[in-house]
Amino acid sequence: MSYETFPFSDEHKMLRETVRDLVREKIAPRAIELDETHEFPAAAMAELGELGLLGVYVPEEYGGVGMDFTAYIIAMEELAKGCGSTTLTYTAHTGLCITPILLLGTHEQKLKYLPALCSGEELGCFGLSEPGSGSDAGNLQTRAWKDGSDWVLSGSKMWITNGNRARRMVACAKTDPEQPRGKGITAFIVDMKSPGVSVPKIEDKLGLRASATAQVFLDDVRVPEAEVLGSIDTGFPVFMQTLEGGRVAIAAMSLGLAEAAFEKAVEYSKQRHTFGRALAHHQTIQTYIADMATEIEAARLLVYQAAFKKAAGESVAREGAMAKLYASEMAMRVCEKAIQIHGGYGYVREFEVERIYRDAKLCTIGEGTSEVQQLVIARQILGAAAKG
């Protein structure tokens, strides 16, 4: 395995073992039931909070454990091997809500909000996507205007993971409608118990069915001036920086899901016999397994290349998009082969590869579709070529 290729610290290695133990003992055994009942993975989030993993890269002064971005990606990969729904819930809270507060928040805001988010006492979500601006993230229709000492937000948000469970939302709104697409946008820390906040719908999804994906209405929600996150009209670049990290996280999630499907397929191929011998002895199955292992290894290299670069404080616009594009599409191919190796058993709920397949599909859509990643990569290459 290519883990040895990268300079993981002893802390990184201990973290991986800690998360693996949690997944093996508590998270993976619940995954089937959570998928069937759609029950929110509250127990897992509490356990992750107790271990400090909800604030894995938050400085200790704000309630975190003070590790780095790579530690977060390790946690994402390992969690995804056990339960995709728990992993998505985790990344929406940690990667999408906590990150912009770390990037934009004042010292006072960090002291006020991060300890409760890091402990799991409060859950968070990120309000960027809207009914008409999913992939086109800069085309926000939610508006915010000043009224006395408060700001007033009005609009609707879509595909909000944790939307019905979160106490805090980092909400993005257009504060200067005269500015062009991607400009004049500001972030706000919204108390989800504020008057005017409502959650009219929880989506019934193909996969990741225990994660809560909500539509959130903001109907003249008043937000105090102290809850403005960063400078007025300048939030969009930070949201894009947040999504850079989010793409690496979804790539790690894709990697973990693919690894889980692969391991189950290898185990099944050794146990199942056809035509007088184990499936693993058939050349076609061996070809499948070789292809799956190679693609997983390639994805792992892309994921951790991006993770270590981001942990070093460098931009990963190109590397993150590459990792996310390849790993998410790879996960679909690996899961499909895992089902094929299982044959008819792969199509039924009792054998978990069908659930992993359903869960993996979101990875080709969330944090920017595969087609958006292709555009990002091409622009990075062509832009660099033009400058050269």
Q: Please, which residues have CB within 8 angstroms of residue 218's CB and are 6 or more apart in sequence? A: 127, 142, 153, 154, 155, 156, 157, 171, 190, 196, 197
336 tagged catalytic: no
Helix, strand, coil shares of the chain, percent, nearest 5, are: 60, 15, 25
Tokens of 200: 């009219």
Q: How far apart are CA 79 and CA 92, in angstroms?
A: 14
Give the active site residue among 122, 203, 367, 371. Answer: 367
CA distance 288 to 94: 35
Report d(CA 214, CA 125) in Å as an integer. 10
Residues 6+ apart with CB under 8 A from 266: 280, 289
List phi, psi (to 5°) of 211: -80, 145
Six-digit token pair at 118?
A: 């890091």
- Please list the active-site residues: 367
